[in-house]
Copies of this chain bind each other. A is one copy, B any other.
Amino acid sequence: MKKEFEFINWLRSQKINHTTNLIAGIGDDAAIFSPSVNQETLISTDLLAEDIHFKLDFTSPDLLGYKTLAVNLSDIAAMGGQARYFLLSIACPKNLPDRFLTELLSGMLTLAETTEVTLIGGDTSASTNKLFLNITILGECPSGKAIRRSGAKAGDEIYLTGQIGGSALGLELLQQGKRITDKSLTNLEKLALFAHLKPQPRLNFGKALGLENIATSMIDISDGLSSDLGHICQESNVGATIDLTLLPIFPSASLNQALNGGEDYELLFTVASKHSAKLREVSKLFPDLPVTKIGTITSNLDRWLIEGERKTPLLAKGYDHFA
């Protein structure tokens, strides 16, 4: 393993800076930046623990680095913000090979490059046996324009980007022994594995939605649609009806994977029906990203899954770390 200060110096030597507002990045007691004028700061943090969030045997160091940043970026996307900076904490067991950290950082910095976020600080530590990664992500949005979970109103239409269930299906394939390096994978298997190992944060779409000012609430699908819709409903004090026949389920994923699997990092959001034409305009800017209407917000606090005449309660069954 490289010595701590050698590793930090290697990071500093990368000298990637996507902003003119950064005054000091890595290398002092704290990083320093000037907030942009008329912008609010968004900040969020996400921890990934070995054998809880990931298994080293299922992924590669560069994909793990990519995903660790991606899931954090997704939180800024879910606010309709522009991602700016991140800080990385690593607790690293001594038995990992020398190249592990540089490969992990390489995957992370590849995504940082395309999303124009700058690594401005962090902490490095030994770990007794497991790898822990924590990122804090910072973003900005015009004052008062952040899209929160709490603004959904009865009658709003509920939308979802992309497909759900692919990540959970990918995880199931990994647990069955499939690996991205397997030559015999079908295209669908490959897509499912990548949905799990290399999720795509919907930053540009989220930001475009923020600029249009039409979403009344938004969240990213990390815990699973059932739980994340629950968060919006609880924070907004509303209920919801989801139409099963409209759900954009990843091909061959199960309904359980789609509803409760989580880690899809798609955006779930609500729009007043009078703004549905505006939403279609925004959507046209992203021809590769399907945006699907999946249901309606109700004043009644219950959450229902409907399929024609059938109506079943949509219970939050996402992952609970402390359960």
Chain A positions within 8 Å of B, measured between CB atoms, are 1-7, 23-24, 27-35, 40-53, 75-76, 78-79, 81, 85, 87, 89-92, 120-130, 132, 134, 136-139, 141, 143, 146, 148-150, 218-220, 235, 320-323
Contacts and interface: CB of A to CB of B under 8 A. Distances in A.
Nearest to A141: B32
Contact of A40 (B2, B32, B92, B121): B32
B4 A322 contact: yes
A218 B30 CA distance: 11
- Chain A, interface SS category: strand
Q: Say how many copies of this protein the assembly contains.
A: 2
A45 B88 CA distance: 8
A270 B216 CA distance: 52
A93 to B, nearest CB: 10
Contacts of A47: 89-91, 123-125, 132, 134
Given A136-B136, A322-B126, A219 B40 contact: no
A224 to B, nearest CB: 13
Contacts of A4: 320-323
A148 B32 CA distance: 10
A5 B5 CA distance: 38
B32 A235 contact: no
Given A32-B42, A132-B132, A149-B28, A322 B52 contact: no
